[in-house]
Amino acid sequence: MQTKKGQSIEDASMQMIEDEVGEHHYNEKEWAIVRRIIHSTADFDFVGKNKLIFHKEAIKSGINALKNGCSIIVDVNGVIGLLNKQNPKDFGNKLVCKISDPEIMELAKKENKTRSQVSMRTAKSEIEGGIVAIGNAPTALLEVIQMVKEGIVKPALIIGIPVGFICASESKEELCKLKQVPFITNIGRKGGSSSAAAIINALYKLVKAESFS
């Protein structure tokens, strides 16, 4: 719960973003998500060269999944650390991050894969019908894409916004080619835990807005 002072600071920040961006091509719900990312990163490139890309069913599918108590599967604990913790409690959403599980390291060594890849593969039961949010590991995103192609899982939404230099941009390009599952991603190398968490936090705000409309 925000304090009155905290809310006033957030409101002022959002207005500054509105004023600085001006006109844009996003619809109302998309803009709520993009604006939240800018608020979290102070990076206006998410409107320009690193713009967000929304599958046409992404927001609707994400909202419905959250309302129905879906699991939220992330690549690193940093994403969970940046979420508003009350929201998952309110809607019964399980937060899943297996990257630090001891067996993940052993399995990754055995299979010559990254821990991120293995953590996604071992979370397949939670991924089915869930929301996958990847902010750091391109290999995690590529693994989820492969799992979808194999017919192993069908998440309600993939948030694929990994930051980095090796395969970050390429993994997002592969996500954009995926036809079976709604997704939210962006162009280029930028992204990260703060961006992935901002998208989830924004989706929760949209869920609550629908509840009171």
| Cα distance between the two ends of the chain | 20
Long-range contacts made by residues 69-72, C-beta under 8 angstroms, separation at least 24?
Answer: 69/93, 70/129, 70/130, 70/131, 70/156, 71/95, 71/96, 71/126, 71/127, 71/129, 71/130, 71/131, 72/96, 72/130, 72/131, 72/133, 72/200
Q: What is the CA radius of gyration of the chain?
A: 17
Per the annotation, the verdict on 25 as an active-site residue is no
d(CA 11, CA 103): 44
Query: Looking at 24, 25, 39, 55, which residue is catalytic?
Result: 39
Query: Catalytic amino acids?
Result: 39
